[in-house]
Structure 1
Amino acid sequence: MSRHAILTHDEHAQLRVRTEAGAALGDAVMAAFTVPLEFRRIQHDFPIVFRRDNQTGRFSALALLGFESGENLFLEGDRWEADYKPLSLAIQPFLVGRADDDQAPSQIHIDLDHPRIATNGEGILLFDAAGRPTPYVERIGDMLAELDEGHRTSESFFAALERYELLEPFFLDVELRNGSKHRMVGYHMINEDKLRALEPGAVAELHTEGHLMPIFMALASLSNLSVLIERKNRRNGDG
């Protein structure tokens, strides 16, 4: 369940949020939503894959964190073992809110039922003594704005990938040193052969529209699949 509210000083002056890593705080996920504007940072640590929504037919991008539901191989107790945390996880328990007027500025909403809401005096205050948002909330606002912009602009990115038929389904068989096997299905990746075969005009168009860099970042990120498998081996005690 979730209980969303507009973040205000009047209602949330004493509210605190827990910012440490932890499975019970919402970090135990095998994949995190990401957007093309974030790919440069994501690709350093995580494989980037794509998934089509069976109902809408629309694609979204995911940073892979594990191979099984609820498995985050970058989470070790209360430690986040990566240089970067995807925006979609880093912003929790906040989200972008929309006013009835689409032209009005977006608002910061908070999920009051999220496990990161502190209940015993721990965590970070959201407002200072003068009623101003704390630096933490200001950082959250910046991240929400970036994620929102990335989501809005991703539509043209995926339209370009489909226009040139650059996305293809793939499956990955993961065999671990203890003999266990996992098969990843239901994802798409960029077809590098089709990308190489594009005519110069198409490549120039992708570059002009700002799509070429995130395409390259997504391809480069796949080298992290072997790193993720090694993390899985170590988690199983075989590293």
Structure 2
Amino acid sequence: MSKIEMLNNAAHANVKIKLDRAPALGDDVMFCMTYPFEFRLVLSHYPIVVYRDKANNTAFPVALFGFEEGENLFLDNSGWNARYIPIMVQRQPFSIGSQQIKGSDERQQVIAFNPAHPRVNTTEGEAVFDEQGNYTPYLEKVIKMLESIDIGHQQNKLLVEALDKYELLEESTIAITLKDGTSYELVGFSTIADDKFEALSAEALKDLNDQKLLLPITMIMASMSNLGNLVDIRNAKLG
């Protein structure tokens, strides 16, 4: 595993980030975590499903890009072919870290990054610091993304708790058959059961609406129509 470093303008003065989209730059991912604040943009292209990471006993919504590990159907020689790229992809190679405040038991949030990520270099791309050691507009944009992601984690926690409370999730095996007869079965993902959603009481609907979760839930449901679009893209790649 690569060592994550805390970003600073002395050690990383010359760091640049490649912004092209390509498999070699880490974009060949089958799915990534997504958040309610971006669902409206995500559902314009991608199915949103819930992934249960049983090893870590966590669950969270993800945007689906392909049908097998390492497949991103939105990538080709011209880049990432979609109007919106989920924020968890956009923020790479940066993340939120923490470090202890000197002389205190408290910790503070800091910007961290993976220096071994293929986007990181010192010759091409967007600079992280300017000549005076100040944040560049690019890094300021990244910081806003990281702040949104931090809030998004809390939104996801509330969302999944509500979906579990009202038993709206059903673990599904998503079966896909391509025009050449190739079949795929996607396991480990859950979708929202239409019948259970339709059977929600007025009290439950009010509860979800009061938590500002009703709209995100309906957007997850609406996004499933994009599954057919993924099949079409994959079939087109078959020739």
TM range (shorter): over 0.9
Shift of 1:105: 4.5
SS of match in other structure, 2:185: strand
TM-score normalised per structure 2: 0.94
Q: Write out per-residue CA displacement over residues 50-83 of structure 1, whole angstroms, 9 at most, x where no aligned residue.
A: 1112234321111000001100000112511001
Stretch moving more, 32-41 or 201-210: 32-41
One-letter amino acid of the structure 2 residue matched with residue 149 of structure 1: I
Number of residue pairs the alignment of both structures matches? 236
Q: Give the aligned partner of residue 114 of structure 2.
A: 111
Shift of 1:48: 0.4
Gap regions ≥5 residues in structure 1:
none
SS of match in other structure, 2:10: helix
Q: Give the aligned partner of residue 55 of structure 2.
A: 55
Stretch moving more, 96-105 or 207-216: 96-105
Query: Identity over the aligned pairs, expressed in percent?
Result: 38
Give the counterpart of 2:153 among 145, 151, 154: 151
CA distance in 2, matches of 1:169, 1:114: 33
Give the counterpart of 1:207 among 197, 206, 209: 209
Shift of 1:38: 2.1
Shift of 1:234: 1.0
> 8 Å contact 2:33–2:60 — kept in the other structure?
yes
Give the counterpart of 2:133 among 131, 134, 142: 131
Q: Write out per-residue CA displacement over residues 15-35 of structure 1, whole angstroms, 9 at most, x where no aligned residue.
A: 111111010110001111112
Q: Give the aligned partner of residue 237 of structure 2.
A: 235
SS of match in other structure, 2:99: coil
Q: Give the aligned partner of residue 189 of structure 2.
A: 187
SS of match in other structure, 1:203: helix
Q: Give the aligned partner of residue 71 of structure 2.
A: 71
CA distance in 2, matches of 1:137, 1:221: 31
TM-score normalised per structure 1: 0.94
Q: Give the aligned partner of residue 99 of structure 1.
A: 99
Q: Give the aligned partner of residue 12 of structure 1.
A: 12
